A and B are shown apart, each in its own frame.
Chain A
């Protein structure tokens, strides 16, 4: 009992340490805006992969549509700002609602017709590409030219002259995403999702309404990604149909898979490591030899998947157990 308590204390301390590091990073990089942008990008993928864990890791639905919801959120919040001078602080919530509404519209028939596994994945992937074409052709809102957000340097319009505030916004979102994950894990819905993620038919036989469970997970995920989209648009300062990026959506899902499906902090870990490596390589050698950083990144990805199919998080679990449990055992022996 006491050992369990000790364990919890060490875990909380580790999280606190990580949080402190995360908070002071921009002060260290402060002078170099580019590095802050890179770190914020890594955090963005961390947020998206952590949110993906709700639908992909827990519920086992391989969703490849994250950038569809991100783009919808970005376009809602951005268009409201450009057209009606509407503050993005509210706009991003509306963006989340639009994304969640769209997800419902797509999710109800998808789950109704029992589209699963690969076909669910491919449908959501096609969805991103469909939205890209729709927004390119819809000249009133999108169109082939970037639309820049006005009001540079104003708090009301969420347009800052430095990337540091966006970094903290992303960090806040990450905490929310982790909290939501943690919370769902503890509730009845979380257990239902885990059950249907393991074996959908068995879960159905046990009386779980799988369809409504999956819909709840999908709405939760798409709403928060839509909110992220609002910040994304403001960070880059423009909206463009290229936000609907099928390739990047696949990347988010891959981070979730490689991190360890169903482990709350796994996707975050994968994002920090893989996207971190990728952005670092892009910044250091991307200018000299185009494409080389992607070669290295993909080789790392393949090696990780081959040798740790259960996820990067399991490496850390092993290390953690080795370091902390053995000490716990030794203490016991001494006593």
Chain B
């Protein structure tokens, strides 16, 4: 019983970060219908940035998003104007080809700069465990989950209460009507793409407090966030969060009670089953 609780709880904490990663993808796919295969590699890239900041300048992993957030926003905007906006009118396979090219490029660059071996940071100031009623909780994971929740909340506020957020939602609902209302859709798309990428900067920083990074982990994070998106459907933030928790918990349970190697198996099986049973997702709006 105690093991189950422990496992579920650590899954919930992980799920919050997964939801944060998937939120970035949801912004990109939901708003401009662009299939971004490089999203997982954005996470990997920001984890390497965090590693760099931590090992070269001794900046703590939790604080690096202050630097990497604007950096990845800029990166996303450049990628949008340089590559994505030129292929918006093309067949969707062309967009996939472009983002796969980007994915290969990012992976190769990280291999070139940081070599292929796994990297990890030695410490963070939120190290250690806390005990709550006999259960041991890693502090770094708890803090990461809380920060993820705060970020998801503020993105929700941004989308619902501010003008750029409203413009993003309007273009996502009806591109033509939004353009007629005087919204510059190129700018809105660029903001959405930049924001989607920069969310991975926060996730990357949080992940680095308790994980290592290697160049091949991009595809895994990419498929993981697509899985959460399939589960959640488009356009529902609470749905996204719940889906993230479902994925996190099932991964954690599979690791505890079956086999550590089975974690991805369980996630992908959920993904395939959800697509078969409910192609619109469980909480989907569109």
Binding site for B on A (CB under 8 A): 62, 109-110, 113-115, 117-119, 121-123, 125-127, 129-130, 133-134, 136-137, 246-247, 250-251, 253-254, 257-258, 261, 289-295, 297-299, 301-302, 305-306, 309
Q: Supply 26 A–B pairs (Cβ within 8 Å), ascending by A.
A: A113-B279, A114-B279, A119-B275, A119-B279, A122-B230, A125-B223, A126-B268, A127-B272, A130-B269, A130-B272, A133-B265, A137-B259, A250-B37, A251-B100, A253-B96, A254-B100, A258-B97, A261-B93, A291-B112, A292-B112, A294-B111, A297-B104, A297-B108, A301-B101, A305-B87, A305-B98
Residue of A nearest to B112 (CB): A291
Q: Report yes or no: B264 in contact with A290, Cβ–Cβ below 8 A.
A: no
Which among A261, A293, A301, A302 has the greatest number of chain B C-beta atoms within 10 A? A302
- Chain A positions within 8 Å of B100 at CB level: 250-251, 254, 301
Give the docked Cα–Cα distance between A293 and B112 (Å): 10
- Chain A positions within 8 Å of B269 at CB level: 130
Q: Report yes or no: A137 in contact with B112, Cβ–Cβ below 8 A.
A: no
Q: Is B102 an interface residue (CB 8 A)?
A: yes
Task: Find A113's partner among B108, B262, B276 (CB 8 Å cutoff).
Answer: B276
- Chain A positions within 8 Å of B87 at CB level: 305-306, 309
Task: Find B264's partner among A115, A133, A294 (CB 8 Å cutoff).
Answer: A133
Residue of A nearest to B106 (CB): A298
- Given A295-B108, A298-B105, A257 contacting B275 (CB threshold 8 A): no
Q: Report yes or no: A289 in contact with B276, Cβ–Cβ below 8 A.
A: no
Give the docked Cα–Cα distance between A119 and B275 (Å): 8
Residue of A nearest to B216 (CB): A247
- Chain B positions within 8 Å of A295 at CB level: 105, 108-109, 112
Q: Report yes or no: B104 in contact with A301, Cβ–Cβ below 8 A.
A: yes
- Given A114-B279, A250-B37, A305-B94, A291 contacting B105 (CB threshold 8 A): no
Within 8 A of A (CB), among B2-57: 35, 37
Q: Is B226 an interface residue (CB 8 A)?
A: yes
Q: Report yes or no: A257 in contact with B276, Cβ–Cβ below 8 A.
A: no
- Chain A positions within 8 Å of B86 at CB level: 306
Residue of A nearest to B109 (CB): A295
How many cross-chain pairs have Cβ atoms below 8 Å apart between A and B? 126
- Chain B positions within 8 Å of A251 at CB level: 100
- Chain B positions within 8 Å of A119 at CB level: 230, 275, 279
Q: Report yes or no: A123 in contact with B275, Cβ–Cβ below 8 A.
A: yes
Give the docked Cα–Cα distance between A162 and B234 (Å): 54
Tier of interface size on chain B: 35 or more
Give the docked Cα–Cα distance between A109 and B272 (Å): 10
In the complex, per-residue mask of B246-269: 1 if CB is within 8 Å of any chain A CB, else 0: 000000000000010110110011
- Chain B positions within 8 Å of A291 at CB level: 108-112, 116
- Chain A positions within 8 Å of B110 at CB level: 291
- Chain A positions within 8 Å of B105 at CB level: 294-295, 298-299, 302
Q: Report yes or no: A301 in contact with B93, Cβ–Cβ below 8 A.
A: no
Residue of B nearest to A122 (CB): B226
Q: Report yes or no: A298 in contact with B104, Cβ–Cβ below 8 A.
A: yes
Q: Is B160 an interface residue (CB 8 A)?
A: no
- Given A122-B271, A290-B111, A305-B97, A137 contacting B262 (CB threshold 8 A): yes
Give the docked Cα–Cα distance between A115 and B272 (Å): 10
**Additional pairs, 19, CB under 8 Å, beyond known A118-B92, A295-B109:** A109-B276, A122-B226, A122-B230, A125-B223, A133-B264, A137-B265, A246-B219, A246-B223, A257-B93, A261-B93, A291-B112, A294-B104, A294-B111, A297-B108, A302-B101, A305-B97, A305-B98, A306-B83, A309-B91
